[in-house]
A and B are shown apart, each in its own frame.
Chain A
Amino acid sequence: DIQMTQSPSSLSASVGDRVTITCRASQSISRYLHWYQQKPGEAPKLLIYSASTLQSGVPSKFSGRGSGTDFTLTISDLQPEDFATYYCLQTFDIPRTFGQGTKLEIK
């Protein structure tokens, strides 16, 4: 199975900050990497697919980079609605595997 290691597991930031979350795959997954946002009590929401393509309707403050094994999600100008848990997902192989999540909290 492909292991997805996400870091940090938690992150404290202030409104207006810019933050970066990292996801590392245990083997190359090309660009089969996607980012999700999940708020308490809600389903995950797709933010970015294929490592760097913004899903329709998602604001451009979210950006993704990477290929192979190393990927990043950057969120600019943090607003209160951005404080949530973020997950990466690889769809290169079965079983699909998620990172363990990054909880973004308000400082």
Chain B
Amino acid sequence: EVQLVESGGGLVQPGVSLRLSCAASGFTLSNHWMHWVRQGPGKGLLWVSRINSAGTSTTYADSVKGRFSISRDNDKGTVYLQMNSLRVEDTAVYYCARESPAHSSELDSWGQGTLVTVSS
């Protein structure tokens, strides 16, 4: 069974850093590009970042570019999101999602999410 389990969320003050982890199981992580998507309280879904299967190419939403960094360790089966200089508007549930290697790059499996609250 495919499983994605996020961790690392919490309550932090503006300006600090936080690292989220996404532990993958039930499939071969190295075969998949991976994404982070966030959802603010009562809001819709917002794509955050993407990393290729080897970890050599990354892309970011403009709202997080220069502050967030996505990485992965395929041997450990884990994807990370390093979040620096956090802002109140980064408050959200952060989901990691797997991209299908076939079809049309749809995000076919999602974790349950981890809540990040940025507040003073």
Contacts and interface: CB of A to CB of B under 8 A. Distances in A.
- Do chains A and B stick together as partners? yes
Interface of A: 31-34, 36, 38, 42-46, 49-50, 53, 55, 87, 89, 91, 94-101
B106 A49 contact: yes
A91 B62 contact: no
For chain B, the bracket of interface size reads: 20 to 34
Contacts of A36: 45
Given A43-B95, A53-B103, A91-B104, 7 more contacts: A31-B104, A33-B104, A43-B113, A44-B95, A95-B47, A98-B45, A100-B44
Given A96-B47, A98-B44, A98-B46, A44 B110 contact: yes
24 contacts: A32-B105, A34-B104, A34-B106, A34-B107, A42-B112, A43-B112, A43-B113, A44-B95, A46-B107, A46-B109, A50-B103, A53-B103, A87-B44, A91-B104, A91-B105, A95-B47, A95-B62, A96-B35, A97-B47, A98-B44, A98-B47, A99-B44, A101-B44, A101-B45
Interface string B51-95: 000000001011000000000000000000000000000000001
